[in-house]
Amino acid sequence: MNFTQIKETCLYVSDLEQTERFYNGLLGLPVIGRVAGRHVFFRAGSSVLLCFIAEQTRTDTHLPPHYGSGQSHLAFEVPPDEYEHAKAEIIRKGIEIIHEEPWGERFKSFYFHDSDGHVLEIVPAGMWGGNVE
């Protein structure tokens, strides 16, 4: 097998409107799908962020049931020369940065919470040995 990327990432959330205000309103991710009371989907580069109300997916009969609870983590990648700008934008929008971590000599990343307490991270491209755009 030759996987090229993780295409979708899923978070379970408590309030779809609150989630949309955070990811679309504050982070600027375009909404690409929405079903009231069930989910809202966002585009993040070539990836998709799926945000579901867990109980709605737990009882699915068309697709395999899936659901979860608890705090999750995901990282968004930015071009290296936009890292500091991304950090400044997060601060400007009133989102608290909870930690910044140096990764060796060349890289660092920062962490913050979304509206459901999930831990989000901003990383510069190339941090994990991938291509730097």
| pLDDT tens-digit series, residues 27-43 | 999 999 999 999 999 99
> Is the confidence at residue 53, as pLDDT, over 50?
yes
Q: What is the pLDDT of residues 112-123, one digit of tens each?
A: 999 999 999 999
Residue-wise DSSP of 34-79: EETTTEEEEEETTEEEEEEEHHHHHT-SSSPP----S--EEEEEE-
- For the chain, the distance separating the N- and C-terminal CA atoms, rounded to the nearest angstrom, is 25
Residue ranges covered by each domain of the chain: 1-67, 71-133
CATH C-level class of 1-67: alpha beta
pLDDT in tens, 7-25: 999 999 999 999 999 999 9
User: Three-state SS for 19?
Assistant: helix
Kindly report the pTM of this predicted structure.
Answer: 0.91
pLDDT tens, 88-108? 999 999 999 999 999 998 999
Distance CA 58, CA 72 (A): 18
What's the pLDDT at 130? 60
Domains 1-67 and 71-133 share a fold: yes
Domain 71-133 has CATH 3.10.180.10: yes
